[in-house]
């Protein structure tokens, strides 16, 4: 657009009226201002992520919107939170950055989720002090508490739970499931202490936490779930056959019949263990 207006001015300036020249110049200036805003917005996100508080302050002083977005859809606060830049986070919050904004990408993370993913507890605390919503879910149904559970960050879990995070949300992904799947024993213990349901699933067809932990061989997590009252059935025992002898022994300690058959295949846990080549599990089952 700038090139077209400049060519018009150069080719026929003597034939244009004063009003036409003024219109062309105004359009050119508008385009230049738009480009300047885009460049400065991207700069603000970049320097916030770099932790350059002086540059953040200077860029804001040029009139750049504090919640402007970079080319990926992140705000400066998101960039600073993800990188653990506490000084920049504090500065942006003091400039009225929105702590509840969601990323424009398909995930839709909030600054708090990004801080949790990076295990930046000081940043998360600052965001919560700045009224960041603790239970906002991403487009995929993930909360900051789920993210913290997934990375096994107990300090972050304690921070979020003390801020009122829901350990058993009625909708979306369950934080306990994230901790169980990855074998984060301490995180599982903390969530169970917060009354997370040891048998809860997001969908009816989903494998319960005990079955997931058993299959993956997380024996310490299996024991915690059993202590919390998670039920054991034939499918759980069959899944545990792939998890090793320690898992099998923990499941058998509940009194379940070692010869019970999985209802779909009709196979015993010992048969599953033999198929999986788990000699330790076979020995624990026979």
**Both structure tokens of 272:** 């599953």
pLDDT 10s digits, 98-147: 999 999 888 899 999 999 999 999 999 999 999 999 999 999 899 999 99
Which one is predicted more confidently, 39 or 198? 198
Q: CA–CA separation, 210 vs 225, rounded Å?
A: 6
Region 209-217: mean pLDDT is 97
Q: The tokens 């077209």 sit on which residue?
A: 4
Pick the residue with more confidence: 253 or 6?
A: 253
Q: Give pLDDT tens digits for 146-176.
A: 999 999 999 999 999 999 999 998 888 999 9
State the DSSP code for 66. Answer: T
Burial class (CB in 10 A: 0-12, 13-18, 19+), 270: buried
Contacts of 40 (CB under 8 A, 6+ apart): 59, 62, 64, 68
The Cα 89–Cα 51 span in angstroms is 9
For residue 189 the two structure tokens come to 């213990």
Give CA separation, 159 vs 120, 128, 133, 148, 170, in Å. Answer: 11, 9, 13, 10, 21
215: pLDDT strictly greater than 70: yes
* Predicted TM-score (pTM) of this structure: 0.84
Q: Report the pLDDT value the prediction gives residue 42, as an integer from 0 to 100.
A: 85
Tokens of 141: 């149904």
In Å, how far are 7, 166, 194, 234, 252 from 267, measured between CA atoms? 80, 39, 37, 9, 17
């Amino acid at each position: 657009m700038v090139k077209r207006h400049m060519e018009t001015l150069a080719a026929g300036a003597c034939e244009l009226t004063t009003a036409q020249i003024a219109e062309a110049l105004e359009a050119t200036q508008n385009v230049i201002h738009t480009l300047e805003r885009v460049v400065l917005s991207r700069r603000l996100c970049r320097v916030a992520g770099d932790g350059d508080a002086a540059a953040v302050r200077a860029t804001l002083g040029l009139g750049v919107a504090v919640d402007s977005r970079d080319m990926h859809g992140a705000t400066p606060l998101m960039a600073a939170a993800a990188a653990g830049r506490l000084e920049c986070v504090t500065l942006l919050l003091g400039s009225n950055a929105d702590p509840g904004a969601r990323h424009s990408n398909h995930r839709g993370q909030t600054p708090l989720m990004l801080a949790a993913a990076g295990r930046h507890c000081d940043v998360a605390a600052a965001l919560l002090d700045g009224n960041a919503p603790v239970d906002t879910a991403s487009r995929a149904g993930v909360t900051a508490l789920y993210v913290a559970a997934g990375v096994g960050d107990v300090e972050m879990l304690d921070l979020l739970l003390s801020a009122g995070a829901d350990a058993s949300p009625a909708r979306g992904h369950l934080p306990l499931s994230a901790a169980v799947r990855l074998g984060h024993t301490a995180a599982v213990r903390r969530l169970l202490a917060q009354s997370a349901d040891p048998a809860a699933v997001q969908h009816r067809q989903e494998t319960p936490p005990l079955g997931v932990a058993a299959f993956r061989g997380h024996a310490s997590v299996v024991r915690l779930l059993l202590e919390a009252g998670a039920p054991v059935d034939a499918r759980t025992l069959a899944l545990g056959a792939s998890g090793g002898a320690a898992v099998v022994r923990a499941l058998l300690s509940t009194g379940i019949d070692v010869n019970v058959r999985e209802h779909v295949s009709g196979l015993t846990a010992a048969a599953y263990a033999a198929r999986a080549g788990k000699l330790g599990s076979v020995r624990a089952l026979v």
